């Protein structure tokens, strides 16, 4: 048995383990750090004034009434989280094939944005721009009755009007998540022409047709009944097999005036995040989606994984891949841990 003063058997100049021997050394040499200021907390707002409703498929997440949403935003801000992304749950009686309620002045999202902004003026509010919360078919746009395909240009017209209303309500950043062609340029023009030149656009540039969105659709009520066929959004969302196409979409969004570019989902698309980071000078966002969150919780509930360790590793990987901004349902938990 050798002692520390005994010459080792291997004659090595480089021993990388020297930089891993103690916690203090590991901290000094750590290359990637997850900061609370990297995080955006997605939150759900409902139309009624009842108590917050737990979302069964997303442990620890709730649909909030506006008053409780304001309180939650204040708590998040006290933990150092500087941005939230708001999504509405719209009652079924307000939905139709055209998503008409998206532009109704009584849309709960408009009231929620205004109330949160009034209470927390320094909190950045990111608002989703898409029609799926408002359509009875659950698609992100207007559907051609004959072909079943979402109509691009007609949908973009409505998204421009919705973006203006969101900006009027106080949203700092609008986030088109629909994947229609040309919508970034059209929204930028619409915002500029109505005086909202300083409102940002976070483009869902590489949004893939993923199987990991199910719990989110539960949360906003756009998921179809169990006996209905699953929503097929492949005629507008990206093929998970296509990396080059994702880069094309991101380049077009940048050329059209996007201020930030997003990859969604995050954990399964770390290669896309890295490729995008290497190709743009714009901030890159990544959305750790509901299915990623739910599967970590499910495995931890069964004792198969350590919740905190798996959560932290998953987010660190997203940051390491190149994301500047991470939308995650773990935001509050991470903020509390870092605090």
Q: Which residues participate in catalysis according to the annotation?
A: 207, 264
- For residue 187, give the nearest of 128, 124, 256 by alpha carbon: 256
How far apart are alpha carbons 145 and 90 in whole angstroms?
A: 23
For 12, counting Cβ atoms within 10 Å of its Cβ (0-12 exposed, 13-18 middle, 19+ buried), the class is exposed
Q: Which segments within the chain are labelled E, that is strand?
A: 39-46, 53-54, 62-64, 83-89, 124-129, 173-176, 200-207, 260-264, 284-288, 325-328
How far apart are alpha carbons 259 and 240 in whole angstroms?
A: 24
Summarize the chain as % helix, strand, coil (round to 5): 45, 15, 40
Q: Which residues contact 159 (CB under 8 A, 6 or more apart)?
A: 129, 130, 131, 141, 176, 178, 180, 183, 186, 187
How far apart are alpha carbons 222 and 128 in whole angstroms?
A: 14
Contact between 175 and 202 under an 8 Å Cβ cutoff? The reply is: yes
């Amino acid at each position: 048995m050798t002692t520390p003063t005994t010459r080792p058997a291997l004659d090595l100049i480089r021993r990388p383990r020297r930089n891993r021997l103690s916690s203090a050394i590991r901290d000094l040499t750590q290359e990637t750090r997850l900061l609370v200021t990297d995080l955006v907390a997605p939150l759900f707002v409902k139309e009624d004034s009842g108590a917050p409703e737990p979302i069964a498929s997303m442990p620890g997440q709730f649909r909030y009434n506006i008053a409780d949403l304001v309180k939650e935003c204040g708590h998040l801000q006290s933990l150092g989280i500087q941005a939230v992304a708001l999504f509405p749950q719209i009652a079924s009686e307000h939905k139709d094939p055209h998503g008409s309620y998206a532009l109704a002045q009584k849309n709960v999202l408009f009231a929620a944005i205004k109330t949160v902004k009034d209470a927390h003026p320094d909190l950045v509010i990111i608002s989703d721009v898409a029609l799926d919360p408002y359509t009875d078919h659950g698609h992100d746009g207007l559907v051609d009755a004959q072909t079943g395909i979402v109509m691009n240009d007609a949908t973009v017209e409505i998204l421009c009007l919705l973006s203006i209303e969101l900006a009027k309500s106080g949203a700092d950043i609008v986030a088109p998540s629909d994947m229609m062609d040309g919508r970034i340029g059209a929204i930028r023009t619409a915002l500029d022409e109505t005086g909202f030149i300083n409102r940002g656009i976070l483009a869902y540039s590489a949004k893939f047709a993923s199987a990991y969105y199910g719990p989110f659709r539960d949360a906003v009520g756009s998921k179809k009944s169990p006996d209905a066929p699953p929503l097929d959004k492949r005629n507008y969302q990206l093929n998970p097999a296509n990396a080059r196409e994702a880069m094309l979409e991101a380049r077009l969004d940048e050329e059209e005036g996007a201020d930030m570019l997003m990859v969604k989902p995050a954990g399964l698309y770390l290669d896309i995040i890295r490729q995008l980071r290497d190709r743009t000078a714009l901030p890159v966002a990544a959305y750790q989606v509901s299915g990623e969150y739910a599967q970590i919780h499910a495995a931890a509930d069964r004792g198969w994984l350590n919740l905190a360790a798996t959560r932290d590793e998953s987010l660190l990987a997203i940051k390491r891949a190149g994301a500047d901004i991470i939308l995650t349902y773990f935001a509050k938990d991470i903020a509390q841990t870092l605090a």
